[in-house]
Structure 1
Amino acid sequence: MQQKTTTLKYIKNTLFLTILCLISFTSYAQKIKIDGVAVVIGKNIVLDSDIDKFKQEVEIRSEGKVTISDCEMLEELMQQKLLSHHAVVDSVSVSDSEISGRVDRSVAYFTEQYGSVDKVIQAYGFNDLDDLKKELYTVQKENVLIEKEQQKITEKIDVTPEEVRLYFNGLKGKGELPEFPAEIELAQIVLSAAPTQEENDRIVAKLNEIKKEIEDGASFKMKAIINSDDPGVTTNGGEYEVTKDSPFIKEFKEMAFSLDVNQVSKPFKSDFGYHLMQLHQIKGNTRIASHILMQPDVPETRLLDTKARAEQIALDIKEGRITFEEAVKKYSTDEETKNNGGLIVNPYTGESKFDLTRMDPALYARVAELNKGELTDIFYDQNRSGEKMYKFIIMRDRTNTHTADLVEDYVKIQELALAKKKEETVAKWAKEKIKDTYIKLSETHRKCTFDRNWKKETSK
Structure 2
Amino acid sequence: MSVFQTNAQKVKIDGVAVVVGKNIVLDSDIEKFKQEVELRSEGKITISNCEMLEELMQQKLLSHHAIIDSVTVSDPEINARVDRSVQFFTQQYGSLDKVIQAYGFNDLTDLKEELYAVQKENLLVEKEQIKITEKVDVTPEEVRLYYNGLKEKGELPEFAAEIELAQLVMNAEPTPEENKKVIDKLKEIRQEVLEGASFRLKAIINSKDPGVTRDNGRIVVTKEASLIKEFKEVSFSLEKGQISEPFKTMYGYHIILLHEIKGNTRIVSHILMQPEIPEARLQEIKFKVEEIKRDIEAGKLTFEEAVKKFSDDKESKNNNGLIINPYTGESRFELTRMDPAMYARVNELETGEFSDVFYDQSSGGEKMYKFILMRDKTDTHKAGFVDDYVKVQDLALKKKKEEAIEKWAKDKIKDTYIKIGEDYKNCTFEKNWKKEVNK
TM class by shorter chain equals: over 0.9
Pick aligned residue for 1:407 from 370, 386, 406: 386
In the aligned structure 1, how far is the partner of 2:188 from the partner of 2:139? Answer: 68
Task: Give CA-to-partner distance per residue, 1:333-355, whole Å, 9 cap, x none.
Answer: 22222222222222222222212
The 3 A distance-change label for structure 1 pair 74 and 399 is: farther
The one-letter code matched in structure 2 to 1:102 is R
The 3 A distance-change label for structure 1 pair 106 and 19 is: closer
Aligned to 1:12: none
Pick aligned residue for 2:3 from 15, 19, 35: 19
Aligned to 1:335: 314
Pick aligned residue for 1:356 from 335, 355, 358: 335
How much has 1:378 moved relative to structure 2? Answer: 2.0
Give the match's secondary structure for 2:55: helix
Are 2:144 and 1:160 equivalent residues in the alignment?
no
Does the aligned pair in 2 maintain the 1:44–1:85 contact within 8 Å? yes
Aligned to 1:200: 179
How much has 1:237 moved relative to structure 2? Answer: 4.5
Most deviating of 341-350 and 298-307: 341-350
The 3 A distance-change label for structure 1 pair 110 and 380 is: farther
Give the share of equivalent positions with the same residue, in percent. 68
Are 2:325 and 1:346 equivalent residues in the alignment?
yes
The one-letter code matched in structure 2 to 1:333 is D
Aligned to 1:100: 79
How much has 1:188 moved relative to structure 2? Answer: 1.8
Does the aligned pair in 2 maintain the 1:41–1:85 contact within 8 Å? yes
In the aligned structure 2, how far is the partner of 1:67 from the partner of 1:175? Answer: 25
How much has 1:60 moved relative to structure 2? Answer: 6.0
The one-letter code matched in structure 1 to 2:408 is W
Most deviating of 375-384 and 400-409: 375-384
Most deviating of 206-215 and 263-272: 206-215
Give the match's secondary structure for 1:384: coil
Are 2:420 and 1:441 equivalent residues in the alignment?
yes
The one-letter code matched in structure 2 to 1:281 is E
Does the aligned pair in 2 maintain the 1:157–1:422 contact within 8 Å? yes
Does the aligned pair in 2 maintain the 1:224–1:237 contact within 8 Å? no
Pick aligned residue for 2:153 from 174, 190, 194: 174
Give the match's secondary structure for 2:422: coil
In the aligned structure 2, how far is the partner of 1:290 from the partner of 1:265? Answer: 11
In the aligned structure 1, how far is the partner of 2:253 from the partner of 2:139? Answer: 55
Aligned to 1:314: 293
What's the TM-score once normalised by structure 2's chain length?
Answer: 0.92
In the aligned structure 2, how far is the partner of 1:56 from the partner of 1:325? Answer: 50
How much has 1:281 moved relative to structure 2? Answer: 3.0
Does the aligned pair in 2 maintain the 1:23–1:124 contact within 8 Å? no
Pick aligned residue for 1:240 from 202, 219, 227: 219
1:366-445 map, 5 Å: 366-445=345-424
Most deviating of 50-59 and 318-327: 50-59
The one-letter code matched in structure 1 to 2:73 is V
Are 2:195 and 1:216 equivalent residues in the alignment?
yes
1:254-293 map, 5 Å: 254-293=233-272
How much has 1:51 moved relative to structure 2? Answer: 4.0
1:115-194 map, 5 Å: 115-194=94-173
Does the aligned pair in 1 maintain the 2:6–2:118 contact within 8 Å? no
What is the alpha-carbon root mean square deviation over aligned residues? Answer: 2.3
How much has 1:65 moved relative to structure 2? Answer: 5.8
- Runs of at least 5 residues in structure 2 that lack an aligned partner in the other structure: none
Give the match's secondary structure for 1:39: strand
Runs (4+) off by over 6 Å: none
Does the aligned pair in 1 maintain the 2:7–2:118 contact within 8 Å? no
Aligned to 1:10: none
Does the aligned pair in 2 maintain the 1:225–1:237 contact within 8 Å? no
Task: Give CA-to-partner distance per residue, 1:7-64, whole Å, 9 cap, x none.
Answer: xxxxxxxx3xx3349974x31xx2543xx54322122233445445545555566666
What's the TM-score once normalised by structure 1's chain length?
Answer: 0.88
In the aligned structure 2, how far is the partner of 1:71 from the partner of 1:212? Answer: 64
The 3 A distance-change label for structure 1 pair 118 and 220 is: same
